[in-house]
Structure 1
């Protein structure tokens, strides 16, 4: 069996950390909201939250249904290409980034936008790129074909 991509569960730690940092900065060092404060912008922000939550829940459910790990620091036992994984290779991480953007809308804090960007960069470097190497080593051509027809993020 191929060793796991990472020995530490980076994604949940990064998500909670960036969420906490954004919240702390919003409370103690607020910045004015540069975005539009209108109905359509509000509903787009709400849609980000709903879509983010749907991606997270369906991503976990698909992994569980396929009897492979959902823990980011465990080795994958099966290449999952159904559910939200048909389109996105990382729907749970994408969902978490969308939840941070939803946080920006509901708090009117630019810090949550920065947190979403920071989360995306850090999870890519610390988890996604090593995970892609792990999946390629574990599943070879099957993973490369899947990688060619799906997106890392959007």
Structure 2
């Protein structure tokens, strides 16, 4: 096992978690579809879903660009070279994970598959326990007071 200073995770947990949650939502819907909303509300939530997906993609792209500009890795199993605090990192310490969670909710609203919406917080919780908490220990060991000050100002999710 590598030192947490060098690498926060041994596996890229967040992509594995989100893919597993999506697969589980599809399987659950196939095995036990849950009722959706009446047509009038379904159309409204369909439109809201597209706005949520657009917002999620915008957050993800902005976060990737901020990390690229800072010349640090986007890969959750590699060590960070620089602490990124600008762009979407100014309002959430985990914009990519927030974007992934929003994406699941948006797809649920668009598709009418309630399982996406129900499993999104489960995937977010698993991401926090399997990745975020280790990443935060990595960042604190790597950047010390700078990270502690940043984490006091900016919330983990929103």
TM range (shorter): over 0.9
Moved over 6 A (4+): none
| Structure-2 separation of matches of 1:32 and 1:103 | 16
Q: Structure 1 residues 53-62 or 24-33, which shifts more?
A: 24-33
SS of the equivalent of 1:37 reads helix
Q: Structure 1 residues 40-49 or 7-16, which shifts more?
A: 40-49
Query: 1:85-104 to 2 correspondence within 5 Å?
Result: 85-104=89-108
Normalising by the residue count of structure 2, what TM-score does the alignment of the two structures yield? 0.90
Question: Residue in 1 aligned with 2:26?
Answer: 23
> Unmatched 5+ residue regions in structure 1?
none
Q: Is the 8 A contact 1:63 1:69 kept in 2?
A: yes
Question: Residue in 1 aligned with 2:143?
Answer: 139
| Structure-2 separation of matches of 1:96 and 1:38 | 22
| Structure-2 separation of matches of 1:4 and 1:81 | 19
Normalising by the residue count of structure 1, what TM-score does the alignment of the two structures yield? 0.93
Task: Give the drift of 1:57.
Answer: 1.2
| Structure-1 separation of matches of 2:135 and 2:107 | 27
Task: Give the drift of 1:120.
Answer: 0.6
Query: 1:45-124 to 2 correspondence within 5 Å?
Result: 45-124=49-128
Q: Is the 8 A contact 2:12 2:77 kept in 1?
A: yes
Q: Is the 8 A contact 1:52 1:96 kept in 2?
A: yes
Q: Is 1:127 the equivalent of 2:131?
A: yes
Q: Is the 8 A contact 2:45 2:110 kept in 1?
A: no
| Structure-2 separation of matches of 1:153 and 1:27 | 31
Give the superposed CA RMSD.
1.7
Question: Residue in 2 aligned with 1:33?
Answer: 36
| Structure-2 separation of matches of 1:34 and 1:71 | 38
| Structure-1 separation of matches of 2:157 and 2:51 | 17
